[in-house]
Amino acid sequence: MSKPSIYELAVETMTATVRSLADVKNVPLASDRFDQVVVSAMDTLSLTDIYGLAKAHRGSVLAASAAVNRCLDIIAATRTAITRATREDENADIDAIVARVQESPDRFIPPEARTDIYRWPDAAQSSPET
């Protein structure tokens, strides 16, 4: 049996981070979505951080955690925006909502989520924006 590659070790670490942070942040994911979040987060890392992640270097682990945190915030913000829009209009254009959040996620993410690990309320319980 061969040793895992640096990239495989980094992916394993990222997968564990996604699972853990998704739970902490209250952003439930279907099992097939974990890999998508891992890939999205890994795409934002430098090769140095991917290598450092496999070696558990502190700075690389922090960069990876921040990338996962951001991906999960975008998912949660999208869900919340869809929930709010469909409450107001049963025929809301879901594709347009998703595009708006993806285009400018900080407009939909609470300020406290930008500097800390934010625990999202259940999308169904989110109050409408005022």
Distance CA 130, CA 124 (A): 17
Per-residue pLDDT of 34-44, as tens digits, reads 999 999 999 99
- Residue 119, helix vs strand vs coil: coil
Mean pLDDT over 17-27 rounds to 95
**Position with higher pLDDT, 105 vs 2:** 105
Is the model's pLDDT at 129 over the cut of 80? Answer: no
pTM of the model: 0.86
